[in-house]
Amino acid sequence: MIHDTKGFEEQKPTLRSMIVEQHDAQPDRLPWPNDWFETTDSGQIAACRALWAAALTACIKTALGIDGEYTRRYGQDDARLRSTSWFRSRDFYTMCALAGIDGPACAERLSDPAVRPEIIRLLMHKNSGKTRMEKV
């Protein structure tokens, strides 16, 4: 089953606009420093993307029910129910953007039952992380 993401591409907000909108919704939070958006230090960018890719990997493992602790605590069925809605959520797309990953393409692959076994196999690899997320 292929999910229609046609309309999302046209409305996809920039990372800066997502963060500004989030800040506007919570005015008590300190704003992001402007130099965060203007940095050209590729080492910092790569490190941030690797961190977000690792966080995204952990969240996907939980959503797919392959995170042992979550499954023990809440059960496999709860994880499966949560995954279908989370893969289409704003939080998922924001995490993908921060990790430098195409959110709609990633959501489409994660929602496809035919592709899930391969994704799970890659995520179960002991060295899963940024390099593994790029293959998904």
Q: Is residue 73 part of a domain?
A: yes
57 in a structural domain? yes
Under DSSP, is residue 79 helix (H, G, I), strand (E, B) or coil?
helix
| Side-chain half-sphere exposure of 69, counting CA atoms within 13 A | 2
**Domain annotation covers residue 75:** yes
Domain presence at residue 48: yes
Per-residue pLDDT of the chain (136 residues), as tens digits, is 455 555 555 567 777 787 778 778 887 877 666 666 665 666 777 888 899 999 998 888 877 777 666 666 666 556 555 666 788 888 899 999 999 889 898 888 888 888 877 887 777 664 444 444 455 5
Query: Domain range holding 81?
Result: 42-135
| Domain count across the chain | 1
pTM of the model: 0.57
